Amino acid sequence: SCINCLRTMPYIKAWNEKYRDQGLVIIGVHAPEFTFEKDQRNVEQAIRNLDITYPVAMDNDYEIWNAYKNEYWPAHYLIDAQGQIRHQHFGEGKYQETEQMIQSLLKEARNGDLLVANDLVQVAGVGATAAAMADKTGRSPETYLGYTRQQSFSSPEAINKDVTRQYSTPTSLKLNQWALSGDWQIGEQSALLKKSGGAISFHFYGRDLHLVLGSQNGKSIPFKVTIDGAAPQADHGVDIDEQGNGIIKEQRLYQLIRQSGDVHEHTFKIEFLDAEAEAFAFTFG
């Protein structure tokens, strides 16, 4: 569900394709952010969805994470043929630098004999794996719905932790404010809808809007998205249609908005047509 990890994925897959026959071995390490990401079935489904062909280790107890003293999603470590860490990069970007170091380490291990072209891979992600807009100025921040890391919550009602109560959305929201409407139970990591018809609204700025969603009971849950009260049309993300219709089928990140023209502030709303929808975090691109 990590948007930053997803946006690096086209490069990782391209490097695996180009250099694996030259000795590059890629091992993914999955360190979960949310509880549902500890479920092996969810991890296996994500691997299939993303068409990942290299091995992925599950690090539910953060043993690998802590051994590397890691603090970031994603983190990339290049290890040479003698088992020494020779390069590391945290977050997105610096793909050219990383690939050049891959080439250098492979040449070192193969006595200078690298049987592929020195030109760098050219990739273009789609959906949630596409690169974020170049100008990040003013872009809405990652926003969590669970009370542990919650910010900018603007429903007038006070939060009752781990208890169902009715919330409402104010008449207007300022930039980066969000609110709930309907009967919700706000937990440590998420907001869980307890009665059909509940909604989440967010006043955001960014080309893309993503929301990590799931279903508490595992069933499919339909939902409808609007922007400024209207269907998104050409600004719909890959997980909804032009009229804003979508379905929660699994626990993952959903791309709901991708503005097709100039980027402006908008008020986003998602209404769930059945209970037990669970929302974890917004991210923007």
| 112 and 156 co-located in one domain | no
Residue 134 has pLDDT above 90, yes or no: no
User: Domain containing 196 — which CATH number?
Assistant: 2.60.120.260
Q: Does 110 score more than 90 pLDDT? A: yes
**Do 186 and 232 belong to one domain?**
yes
Residues 148 and 104 in one domain: no
In a domain, 188, yes or no: yes
95 and 178, same domain (yes or no)? no
Q: Which of 92, 66, 87, 64 is nearest to 77 (CA)?
A: 87
Q: Is the same domain home to 148 and 70?
A: no
CATH number, domain of 116, equals: 3.40.30.10
Query: How much is the pLDDT for 218?
Result: 85
Q: Which of 94, 129, 164 is the endpoint of a domain? A: 129
In a domain? residue 95: yes
Q: What is the average pLDDT across 162-168?
A: 98
Question: Strand 28-30 to strand 56-58: parallel, antiparallel, or no bridges (unpaired)?
Answer: parallel
Whether the predicted pLDDT of 201 surpasses 90: yes
At 243, list the tokens: 């009229």
Has residue 163 been placed in a domain? yes
Residues 72 and 147 in one domain: no
Query: Whole domain around residue 25: which residue ranges?
Result: 3-129
| Domain annotation covers residue 134 | no
Statement to judge: residues 170 and 268 lie in one domain: yes
Per-residue pLDDT, 187: 98
Question: Which of the listed residues 106, 129, 152 is the one where a domain comes to its end?
Answer: 129
Same domain, 20 and 153: no
Cβ pair 221, 212 in contact under 8 A: no
| Interstrand relation of 199-205 and 208-215 (parallel, antiparallel or unpaired) | unpaired
| pLDDT at residue 216 tops 90 | no
| Beta bridge mates, 191 | 186, 279
Last residue of a domain, one of 100, 129, 158: 129
Closest Cα to residue 49, out of 217, 204, 250, 233? 250
Half-sphere exposure of 212 (CA within 13 A, CB side): 22
Least confident window among 55-69, 75-89, 113-127, 251-265: 113-127
Is 138 inside a domain boundary? no
Q: Considering only CA atoms, which of 282, 283, 279 is closest in space to residue 186?
A: 279
Pair (197, 97) in one structural domain: no
pLDDT above 70 covers what percent of the chain?
100
Residues 111 and 169 in one domain: no
Confirm whether 135 is domain-assigned: no
Query: Are 158 and 74 contained in the same domain?
Result: no
How many helices (H) does the chain have, and how many strands (E)?
Answer: 4, 15
End-to-end CA distance of the chain: 14
The total number of structural domains that make up the chain: 2
Q: What is the pTM of this model?
A: 0.92
Are residues 177 and 104 located together in one domain of the fold? Answer: no
Confidence band for 148, pLDDT divided at 50, 70 and 90? very high
